[in-house]
Structure 1
Amino acid sequence: MLQFRSFAPLRFGSRRLGQNQGINQSRKGPSIRRSRESLGIAFLLATQFFCALFFLFGILTSLLGIQVAPISWAAYELIEIGVAVALVIGVVLSAMLLLRSLRARKQAEDSLRELSGAFMDLLKQRFEDWALTPAERDVALFSIKGVSMADIAALRGTSEGTVKAQCNAIYRKAGVSGRAQLLSLFIEDLLSDDVRLSDIERP
């Protein structure tokens, strides 16, 4: 007679799965909010369009002498009041959206300014750790910006051979083999726990 053992349930990357679920849940919030904002803006535009169309229809029928089925004066006044109220609400909401957009833009500019300042501080700290000379610091900064050796030589008034020698000295002090690895050092530092891009508030 066959006997079956009971095995404990296997766990395949439960920690990683929990992290992924947390990331997915954190991403759902902003996406749902953006979807609601898009629907609200679409509804606002549609309301303003129909309100404008109502007034335009009344003006055109009067100018062109088009006969339409008459409605009671009280009903027409109620429709006009409703349309006017909808337009006022639309103007207020549009102003609120504009202010919110300007505020979000200012926050993004402030965050970018802080990140730029943090990057410059990181550059200065790295240059001091590597004991770069003033000339090597200028060359390293141009190299990180993506300027070619010929342009660096023209900007500094030196030969390309001098710039190449300075670049080799910079790479040796930094412990890298080229410009790409040099830039990757700063990117890794910016993505570390000291400067987290995820902490920047997004609109």
Structure 2
Amino acid sequence: MRSVASIVLIFVVQAICAIFFVSDILLTVFGVRSSPISWQSRELLEVGAALGLLLGLVLGGFALLRSIREARRVKGQLRVASGAFMDLLEEKFDQWGLTPAERDVALFSIKGLSTAEIAGLRNTSEGTVKAQTNAIYRKAQVANRPQLLSLFIEDLMAEGLPGLEEQGAARLQSGAR
């Protein structure tokens, strides 16, 4: 929340300063004169507005750098989570004793592809994919695709992603950013 408040503050300061300069230019262009103020006061206003714009620029730069760092951190965590999920898939596939073809079909099914799409990707008939899908369901002891997917969701919710922090540290040390 602090980050949002600081960005809003930066925006407000820059907006006020920009309005000052733009209104001064427009008033001059249209020949509208305001009540005269001393040149010292006017100079102070202009210096203050310029400093406000510079402050906004510096603070905006810091906010941008912080956002970039946060995006990199989240991207790294997502990469680690994706790797941990693939490890969980492989573990379950091994546990169920799936053949390489069944592993492909199971992975495509979990990704949400239809039987026809899986058959097209694997250059097989839909009947073959259906037979492999039934074998997967039998080995996993489920009745359908939603139940198959729920096995993984339950594991992720119950245990979290196994070894996520250790894997993240190992991958970051190995330079897999």
On whether the aligned pair clears a TM of 0.5, the verdict is yes
Cα deviations by residue, 1:72-127 (Å, 9 ceiling, x for unpaired): 11111111121111111100111111111111111111111111111111111111
Please give the TM-score of this superposition, normalised by the length of structure 2. Answer: 0.85
- Relative contact order higher in (CA < 8 Å, ≥ 6 apart): 2
Pick the aligned partner of 2:67 from 91, 101, 115: 101
Cα deviations by residue, 1:140-178 (Å, 9 ceiling, x for unpaired): 111111111112122222222221111111111111111
Q: Which residue of 1 aligns with 2:93?
A: 127
Alpha-carbon distance in 2 for matches of 1:175, 1:106: 40
Letter in 1 for 2:34: V
1:185 and 2:151 are equivalent in the alignment: yes
Letter in 2 for 1:157: N
Greater shift after overlay, 55-64 or 126-135? 55-64
Alignment of 1:9-88 (within 5 A): 34=1, 36-88=2-54
* 8 Å contact kept, 2:85–2:161: no
Pick the aligned partner of 2:140 from 156, 162, 174: 174
Larger radius of gyration: 1
- Same amino acid, percent of matched pairs: 54
Equivalenced residues, count: 165
Q: Which residue of 2 aligns with 1:162?
A: 128
Structure 1: state its 5+ residue gaps.
1-33
Pick the aligned partner of 1:195 from 154, 161, 175: 161
Letter in 1 for 2:22: L
Give the superposition deviation at 1:51.
0.7
Structure 2: state its 5+ residue gaps.
169-177
Give the superposition deviation at 1:42.
2.3
Letter in 2 for 1:151: E
Alpha-carbon distance in 2 for matches of 1:47, 1:38: 14
Cα deviations by residue, 1:3-47 (Å, 9 ceiling, x for unpaired): xxxxxxxxxxxxxxxxxxxxxxxxxxxxxxx1x433332232122
Q: Which residue of 2 aligns with 1:21?
A: none
2:159 alignment partner, SS class: coil
Q: Which residue of 2 aligns with 1:5?
A: none
Runs of 4+ displaced beyond 6 Å: none
Greater shift after overlay, 57-66 or 88-97? 57-66
Alpha-carbon distance in 1 for matches of 2:8, 2:160: 41
Pick the aligned partner of 2:83 from 114, 117, 136: 117
Alpha-carbon distance in 2 for matches of 1:37, 1:109: 19
Give the superposition deviation at 1:57.
2.0
Q: Which residue of 2 aligns with 1:143?
A: 109
